[in-house]
Amino acid sequence: MRDKIEKWFKNFQERLTADLETCDGKATFKADQWERPGGGGGEARVIQNGAVFEKGGVNFSAVEGELPEAAAKALHLPDPHFFATGVSVVMHPENPHVPITHMNVRYFEAGNGEAWFGGGIDLTPIYVNKEQVTFFHQALKTTCDRFQPTYYPEFKKWADDYFYIPHRAETRGVGGIFFDRLTATPEISLEERFAFVQAVADTFAPTYTAIANQNRNLPYTEQEKAWQLTRRGRYVEFNLVNDRGTKFGLETNGRTESILMSLPPLASWEYNLIPAEGSAEAAALACFQKGIDWVNQ
């Protein structure tokens, strides 16, 4: 299936960048092709200074070779040879009322024949519009329910646990779904897993751009922009300290520019910042916790 999966992911990058350019209406993605010294390569596509997106990226990669010993051990693989392909997306909007978002779909094939999919979608609003968060989670649940009734509750909890910043005791945003190491089982074939991953990927653009288009023209204050930079700081903390994908990419000699594309152009850290009681910032912070049932709000 390797060639089929790689070709689909590359085509998905093409379609997704077109959808996001249409949403932005001003800027376009610039493509940057690269090769990995150990084998394979990819294409980074970055958009900057647009009408909606201050910075964003849609990266495709298909790499192969040998994993460093530490990386192979972390994945519990006796054979260090591997092939991996996928698409990773992070969008940082200009307007603080448009949420940051992240999406990733990926396929990994080990030298011993093991193969699996991973990925997910999550949302990081600066100010929380609960109706929009419910819309976002319902879209993910609808996609998951097409395949397995257990997928959404399982993968929603996985996202809550994964996108958590322990040193802040808060989640990065309002979650979404996250899954990893989805292998073939006696009940579910690898082809069925791939169909699910394709459906997740295709849920992203219409769901996220609907929210972006609702909020893109909302007015905002300097205080709201400052809070956006603070929340971007949390995003940076998670990606550099906790994110396994960032660590894996750097440990396997991945392309640094592509890996760190996920970071915003500007972020800030104000010492001991505590939002005022009753403020919109405090209300948002209260939503950055595990276990909130967004579908049944």
Catalytic residue among 81, 102, 137, 167: 102
Angle of CA points 159, 161, 165, to nearest 5°: 110
Q: Classify burial at 80, counting beta carbons within 10 Å of its beta carbon; exposed 0-12, middle 13-18, buried 19 or more.
A: middle
92 is catalytic: no
Dihedral of alpha carbons 44, 126, 201, 67, sign: positive
Active site residues: 102
